[in-house]
Amino acid sequence: MLQLYDYLESGNGYKVRLLLTQLGIPFERVELDILKGETRTREFLAKNPNGRIPLLELPDGTTLAESNAIQWYLAEGTRFLPEDRLGRAQVLQWMAFEQYSHEPFVAVLRFWHHAGTLAAHSEEEIAAKRSGGEAGLGVMERHLGQRPFFVGECYSIADIALYAYTHVAEEGGFELASYPAVRAWLERVRSQPGYVPITERVG
């Protein structure tokens, strides 16, 4: 059986959990408390030298890290990844956008709130995270104003990648009220078959 090394509050972990659930693939979740350093033990570093979840372990012991690479592996040949060359490249484009222009701002501010470390950061650092996140949300708003999902007419792993931290952005102090197209898209993602909330213990 597939094993997913994960942390319940993690949006990166949630991307994989949600996709596995929507694909109906059985898996076993191994919870590691990132706040207690459980991703930095010698045993886990042997599996992922980068010391981070999510990590997927295949039945033969092969491991795969990085939430979006894991999603790509799982989605291959399914309705969650387009078959055409351009559609696949566009999915990759939005997943790269998520990692470079969204997650480092929206997810990090949420993490600082969760971990109780916000006060350890300067006002300038917090403002930079906020403006970076607003810029990313603005790009999403303009794109989603014209279409139902990120790529083509269909829900794909690009949507899962961007949904994971956007739907909990308010936990990091972001206001979604001024992003109506993003909010409508969040509802469309929530209504997909097999949807599970981030806090639900699946697997």
Ligand X SMILES: N[C@@H](CCC(=O)N[C@@H](CS)C(=O)NCC(=O)O)C(=O)O
| d(C-alpha 96, C-alpha 47), whole Å | 24
Candidates 3, 22, 39, 156: give the one binding ligand X (CB under 6 A). 39
Q: Does 40 bind ligand X (CB under 6 A)?
A: yes
Q: Does 34 bind ligand X (CB under 6 A)?
A: yes
Q: Does 71 bind ligand X (CB under 6 A)?
A: no
Q: Does 104 bind ligand X (CB under 6 A)?
A: no
Q: Does 67 bind ligand X (CB under 6 A)?
A: yes
Q: Does 48 bind ligand X (CB under 6 A)?
A: no
Nearest to 162 by CA among 67, 76, 82: 67
Candidates 4, 17, 19, 54: give the one binding ligand X (CB under 6 A). 54
Q: Does 66 bind ligand X (CB under 6 A)?
A: yes
Stretch that binds ligand X, among 32-40, 72-80, 150-158, 193-201 (CB under 6 A): 32-40
- Tokens representing 152 are 């083509």
| d(C-alpha 25, C-alpha 121), whole Å | 41
Helices and strands counted in the chain (H then E)? 8, 4
Candidates 18, 19, 20, 53: give the one binding ligand X (CB under 6 A). 53
- Tokens representing 166 are 């956007």
Considering only residues 112 to 131 of the shown chain, the ones binding ligand X according to CB under 6 A are none
CA distances from 8 to 88, 96, 130, 131, 196 (A): 29, 23, 24, 27, 12
Dihedrals phi, psi of 199, to nearest 5 degrees: -85, -5
Query: How near is the Cβ of 71 to ligand X at its closest, in Å?
Result: 9
Dihedral-angle region of residue 66 (phi above 0 means left; psi in -120 to 50 means alpha; beta otherwise):
left
Stretch that binds ligand X, among 65-73, 79-87, 118-126, 172-180 (CB under 6 A): 65-73
Task: Name the residues that contact ligand X, by CB under 6 A.
Answer: 7, 10, 12, 34, 39-40, 51-54, 66-68, 99
